Structure 1
Amino acid sequence: MKTLVVDSTGQLQVKEIPVPKYNSKQALVKMISCGICGTDSTLIKFGFKGFPKEKYPLMLGHEGVGRVVEVGSEVTSFKVGDVVLLPFNDPDEELYGSLGSAWGAFSEYGVVNDKAAYPEGEVPEVAYAQQIVPEDIDPVDAAMLVTLREVFSNIKYFGVGENDNIVVFGSGPVAVTFIKLMSLMGIKSIIGIARSEAKKNLLLENGATIALNSKECDVTQEIRKLYPDGVKYVLDAVGSTDIMNHAMELIADRGEILCYGVPRNNQMQLDWSKAPYNWKINFQQMPSKLEEAEAYDQILEWIRAGKLNLKDFISDYFKFENIVEAFEKYNNHQIPKKAIITY
């Protein structure tokens, strides 16, 4: 099969490798689509925690959807023909030598685990979120379900409530998803911060009660007019030291800075001279797969009720043979929403 690999110099190339092996508790999946995520870009720039340069080269991709083509002898939850979320490819020294894996879903094949086949206490965590895509969901666009489930589970984890106020920095797919889902949850005060009028309008279209263009106004001044004592939450959906430091002067006493974006480096220089005396930072960079799985039914319910449309979050589709070009456009900020790779 073909797979996308990043090497120790940050160069991308499509390589030919063997189709993965699978055991009696797993199923082999032929990929249908996979979304490009900021995590992939961070890995290309050597900034993702847990992946030092000595682990490279790496197979990339973690927002995959595929169709089951073979099943292990103990598998009962999946059958041939099922469309499933989150097929991955693990490192395999025998098959792949020193080629490592950052989940490896930008491949023509992947593997899913059947959690029902494992004894209690031995279920791989990812198995909880390797779920079937219902037949009424477009299998290509279903890659967007990964982001939707992750974000919804994280809103619940962060504990943002209906009557709370929150400022969201960012206007990419993750920030837009946070705003849209918080709006559907009935959170009444969502202030979006973008860096252009077009992005500001995008945040308003997706449920922000107020949106500000940081290039056209003093964000701190505008928010303090609305909330003189500060806001309860500031969400960094980008992963930026500048945003984290800016958040310090926006939060109320005992307010909380939520970081869901993945920082480009594993350290930050924070200045809390403008923060209140009491405040918290909450990093969430690796969502719980069990919580992600538990978010699935609500996402599907909103889609079926017409409150979510997967295509609203997607701007570009690329064939797998054009994946390097897709990443060039993504890294040059030429893709306004989610980009999906198709097979």
Structure 2
Amino acid sequence: MEQKFMRGVAAVGNGKVEVVRDVPVPEIGPYEALVKMKSCGFCNGTDFHIIKGEMSVEVDSFPTLLGHEGVGDIVELGSKVRNYKVGDRIMNPIIKLMPGTPYGCTWGAMCDYAVVQDQKAMIADGVEESQFNPRQLECVQIPSDFDVIDGGALITLNECFSAARNFDVQDKDVLVYGAGPMGLATMKYMRYLGARTITVIDGVAERLKLAKKLSEVDETINFNTQDKEEILAGRLFDRVIDIVGFTSILAEGSQRLRPYGIVGSMGVLRDYDCTLDLTRLKNNTLLQMLNFPYGQYAITSENIELMRAGIIDPKDFYSHVKSVEEIQEVIKLVEEKKAIKVILDLEK
């Protein structure tokens, strides 16, 4: 059988990214379905940390295939698949590296194809546990009419919704560091979940304006034009959330907490900045780690209902849609903070 190849986006080292075309198309097994990818969000945090070699957890060495925010449709079924059908829309399908693939995989959803396992059928047929892909637990079927470009933002929005809930913000005064895409969305969910007040700190005026518009935040502070120390002097909060990803913010933020308050670590930490001196944290406060999301897949249906009801509009949280071939422009837009979030249209 002739080997077929597909495109992918690979981080190749030295901060460089390339569109590659020699990734073998997955050959599906009897319990697998082939997924044609439709879109994938570019993650301003994790993808950039991978590209720069700064991830605080181990990932595949360069060159490695990028993408962890993908959505696609099933186009082919294995012989024993019976819980999926052609046309089903899947969030976060699994990349499957064929023998001889010249790349590692850092989730790999920016490739043209992925797979999903029918693990219900595998369990019913008594398949050995060693044959189960643990990443299948991250795959979620979503409505087939859910907009595929919005789908590229769905995992991000799930992560933000689950974080806002995990931080328990109802009737709380919240201070947020960072008004990028994750910050903007998390504040929107915090408002929905009943935060009493929300104050946000960022250095980009346009993003602070968006925070005011989208989440009706109570106060914005531009650290480039305002003295945040003077503005916040003597004020205390119930929750201080770092969505930028610096241990210095965690230490600083804890000093702004009321007794029993929580400083939340949500921004992805870099490998050179992932150690926190606990003596710098304020006494009688708590540190909650959510650098990697918790509960983001289980919340999918509820989140989609919020979108159907018009409470959340995914389009509010991405600013550009680009093709895979425009990946260099995507990186520049995000690096220069000219984009809130970029969705890659994998059908182009």
Is it true that 1:12 corresponds to 2:21 in the alignment?
A: no
Is it true that 1:21 corresponds to 2:27 in the alignment?
A: yes
Aligned match of 2:3 = none
Post-superposition offset of 1:297 = 1.8
Q: Distance in 2 between matches of 1:277 and 1:165?
A: 19
Post-superposition offset of 1:278 = 2.2
Count matched residues: 333
Aligned match of 2:313 = 309
Aligned match of 1:57 = 63
Distance 1:198-1:50 versus aligned 2 partners, 3 A rule? closer
SS in 1 for 2:74: strand
Q: Which is further off, 211-220 or 183-192?
A: 211-220
Q: Distance in 2 between matches of 1:23 and 1:222?
A: 60
Distance 1:269-1:31 versus aligned 2 partners, 3 A rule? closer
Aligned match of 1:157 = 166
Aligned match of 2:37 = 31
SS in 2 for 1:311: helix
Q: Distance in 2 between matches of 1:315 and 1:86?
A: 21
| Structure 2 residue identity aligned to 1:282 | Q
Post-superposition offset of 1:328 = 2.6
SS in 2 for 1:300: helix
Aligned match of 2:181 = 173
Report the TM-score, using the length of structure 2 for normalisation.
0.87
Q: Distance in 2 between matches of 1:333 and 1:10?
A: 17
Aligned match of 1:110 = 114
Is the 8 Å Cα contact of residues 269 and 291 (structure 2) preserved in structure 1?
no
Q: Distance in 1 between matches of 2:333 and 2:263?
A: 31
1:48 alignment partner, one of 55, 66, 80: 55
SS in 2 for 1:162: coil
Is the 8 Å Cα contact of residues 158 and 297 (structure 2) preserved in structure 1?
yes
Is it true that 1:83 corresponds to 2:89 in the alignment?
A: yes
After superposition, what is the alpha-carbon deviation per residue over 1:210-256, rounded to whole angstroms, capped at 9, x for unaligned?
Answer: 2222223332443345x3xx212111111123322321321222322
Is the 8 Å Cα contact of residues 133 and 139 (structure 1) preserved in structure 2?
no
Is the 8 Å Cα contact of residues 37 and 70 (structure 2) preserved in structure 1?
yes
Gaps in structure 1 of 5+ consecutive residues: none
CA RMSD of aligned residues (A): 2.3
Aligned match of 1:248 = 254
Aligned match of 1:203 = 211
Gaps in structure 2 of 5+ consecutive residues: 1-5
Distance 1:185-1:107 versus aligned 2 partners, 3 A rule? same
SS in 2 for 1:79: coil
After superposition, what is the alpha-carbon deviation per residue over 1:156-215, rounded to whole angstroms, capped at 9, x for unaligned?
Answer: 333x13112211111111000100111111222221112133222211112222222222
| Structure 1 residue identity aligned to 2:184 | V
Report the TM-score, using the length of structure 1 for normalisation.
0.89
Q: Distance in 2 between matches of 1:330 and 1:190?
A: 25
| Structure 2 residue identity aligned to 1:40 | D
**Aligned ranges for residues 203-282 of structure 1 at < 5 Å?**
203-207=211-215, 208-225=217-234, 227=235, 230-268=236-274, 270=276, 275-282=281-288
Post-superposition offset of 1:273 = 6.8
Is the 8 Å Cα contact of residues 173 and 197 (structure 2) preserved in structure 1?
yes
2:293 alignment partner, one of 252, 275, 287: 287
